[in-house]
Amino acid sequence: MTSVSNPVLASTAPQEQARPKAAAKAPRKPRGAWVGWLLPVLLLVWWEIAAQAGWLSSRILPEPFAVLKAAWNLSASGELWRHLAVSSGRAASGFAVGAGLGLILGLLSGSLRSAELLLDTTLQMVRNIPALALIPLVILWFGIDETAKLFLVSVGVFFPVYLNTFHGIRSVDQGLIEMAKSYGLSGWPLYRDVILPGALPSILVGLRFALGLVWVLLIVAETISAQAGIGYMTMNAREFLQTDVVLVGILLYALLGKLADTAARALERFFLRWHPGYQ
Amino acid sequence: MRNDTQEHQQVSRAAGRGVGLRLRALSKSFSGRTVLHDIDLDIEPGEFVAIVGRSGCGKSTLLRLVAQLDGASGGEVVYEHEGSGEPEIRIMFQDARLLPWKRVQANVALGLPKQAAPQALNALRQVGLGQRAGEWPAVLSGGQRQRVALARALVHDPQLLLLDEPLGALDALTRIEMQALIESLWRERGFTALLVTHDVQEAIALADRVLLIEDGHVALDQRIDLARPRSRGQAQFASLEEAILARVLRHPGSEAATEPSEDFFTPRGVHQVQWAV
């Protein structure tokens, strides 16, 4: 909890200034976390009131309580957990393949001039094709089963990781490398102690970006054709006009995205604990 | 005074720490522009030599050649030392160049085998930072970072320590402190030291010899025979500083002559103003 509170505090600073009285009462650290949730809660309250008053048709937007009930029913029947597990599995495997390849190739072409010459032109060309534009081709190649989804997610995740890793390796302070060499470091020790840690801030930016992208790609991949997953659940519910279930699916994506971002932040805080920006 | 330096040199020769340098017709050019022309220079083991000169005169280039960071375009550097193998050469840069992702002690232990942690801590204590061993470099001040860099150089027990304007970015007080620290460690260990600086006063305070590099040549080779530790208030110190500064600036000397006395009275002037306000 405390580890999350700092960035939240920073992002909500203007709100704090606008409400000095409420802010002054609460102790320092929980205040930040609390203010961060203020806007979503107010929105919910307004939504509930609007639904109760009949300003919103339940087909357009059912009341929050109905959404909550739908979520409860889905999780009680176990359906929600099944879809969640399938989606998470797809996200994790797609991320592992895409980010793993991006990291390896980024390290390779960042470190070796020959690898850069060989790879970079091709990758820069492919990079400009939006991953989602590949959908027709992907369906032709892989059909509509799991491989297609894995491929889409991997391709989308690959480029932010590759580019940031490449950039990170290239922008390591040359003075530090020169210093380390004059202290007798070369080969793997030089790589491990100087180049890799120097590139790490940039690599982590790439990972964080990729983690956000995973869900975007997955949503699209799952709405094309699937037999399970949050996307399938949502599309299925649309057919039966279950707006409450559709909303559960959408909110789940928001929650999972937030979770992925929190994980990325935790990684940054751990690996960059030497950095003044994370102390 | 001369005896003092000679005595010191003998001590270090006996210890076998200092490395002698013989520069023979050393030249360096960058894309057709010659920075150093046929430099011939002998530096005795254990000697402290300062190189001064205007910026861009090639003094740092000379240091980088001696450090083997760059290759020479012509001529050679011969290292004369007892014992076999490569001499132990360490360099201190203007910026401390500490690895920000390693704690202070790990920075000092860079390039040492793993079991050398106590040595690193010892070196840190010598520069007065034993207490800060477990901290990140980011929390240290500029002067403290340079002290860590000095400890990192010294932990290898170098035979030749090259200093590339290491104090250039520090404030005046920290600078004097660091100068005293470098001098005392040099006297204790007897390594050969080569200091590049644009501060003539610093050169005179520390060095046995001050070299002036101009247009790629050694334009002046001035021996400094003042007793150590040197006081900046001495008349001899002031006249040496004036002479070298005048030579660097190629001025007749009228401007440079007033500088030391101005320096001397400035603190009082400031104080008086504060008091009056």
Tell me: the pLDDT tens digits for A138-170?
A: 888 888 788 888 999 999 999 999 999 999 999
- pLDDT score at B16: 55
Do A147 and A46 share a structural domain? no
A123 and A13 in one domain?
A: no
ipTM of the modeled complex: 0.76
Q: Is residue A65 part of a domain?
A: no
Residue B198, phi then psi, degrees to nearest 5: -105, 5
Catalogue the E-assigned strands of chain A: none
A64 lies in some domain: no
Q: pLDDT at position B169, please? A: 84
What length does chain B have? 277
A277 inside 8 A of chain B by CB: no
Q: Is B99 on the interface with A (CB under 8 A)?
A: yes
| Contacting residues of B for A202, CB less than 8 Å apart | none
Lookup: tokens for A79: 């359906």
Of the ranges A33-47, A210-224, B134-148, the best mean pLDDT one: B134-148
Residue ranges of domains in chain B: 2-88+160-225, 99-156
Q: Is the Cβ of A136 closer than 8 Å to some Cβ of chain B?
A: no
Of B89, B95, B101, the CB nearest to A175: B95
CB pairs under 8 A between A and B: 47
CA angle B80, B82, B83 (to 5 degrees): 120
Chain B touched by A257 (CB under 8 Å): no
Residue A149 falls inside a structural domain: yes
**Considering the domain boundaries, does residue A173 fall inside one?**
yes
pLDDT, tens only, A99-132: 999 999 999 998 888 888 898 888 888 888 888 8
Contact A185 B91 (CB under 8 A): no
Residues A79 and A121 in one domain: yes
Q: Is the dihedral of CA A119, A124, A126, A131 positive or negative?
A: positive
Residue A186 domain flag = yes
Cα–Cα distance for residue pair B150/B144, rounded to 1 Å:
10
B2-88+160-225: what fold? Rossmann fold (3.40.50)
* CB spacing of B95 vs A182 below 8 angstroms: no
Task: For residues A18 and A106, state if they share a domain.
Answer: no
Cα–Cα distance, A41 to A241 (Å, whole number): 26
Domain span including residue A8 = 2-55
- Read off the pLDDT of each residue in A206-233 and give the average, rounded to a whole number: 86
Tell if the CB–CB gap between A178 and B69 is shorter than 8 Å: yes
Chain B: residue nearest A197 by CA? B101
Same-domain check for residues A172 and A261: yes
First to last CA, chain B: 47
C-alpha A160: how far from chain center: 12
A232 with A137, same domain: the answer is yes
Measure the CA–CA gap between A218 and B19, rounded to whole angstroms.
66
A37 located within any domain: yes
Question: Does residue A39 sit in the same domain as residue A141?
Answer: no
Helix (H, G, I), strand (E, B) or coil at B204: helix
AA identity, residue B8: H
User: pLDDT-based confidence at B271, cuts 50/70/90?
Assistant: very low
pLDDT recorded at residue B174 = 87
Span A41-96, pLDDT tens digits: 898 888 888 888 888 787 778 888 888 888 899 889 988 899 999 999 999 999 99
Show residues of chain B in contact with A176, CB under 8 Å. 97, 99
The per-residue pLDDT for A34 is: 80
Q: How many other β-carbons are positioned within 10 Å of the β-carbon of residue A87?
A: 27
* Number of domains observed in the structure of chain A: 2
Contacts of B12 by beta carbon, 8 Å cutoff, 6+ apart: B18, B45, B46, B189, B190, B191
Q: Is A175 in Cβ contact with B97 (below 8 Å)?
A: yes
CATH number at residue A200: 1.10.3720.10
CA distance A166 to B237: 54
Instruction: Tell me the nearest-neighbour CA distance from B169 into chain A, angstroms.
Output: 16
**B109-149, pLDDT tens digit by residue?**
998 888 888 899 999 998 889 899 999 999 999 899 999 99
Amino acid, single-letter form, for residue B162: L
Class of residue B48 by CB neighbours under 10 A (exposed 0-12, middle 13-18, buried 19+) = buried
A237 belongs to a structural domain: yes
- The answer to whether residue A10 scores a pLDDT higher than 70 is no
Residue contact B136–A274, C-beta within 8 A: yes
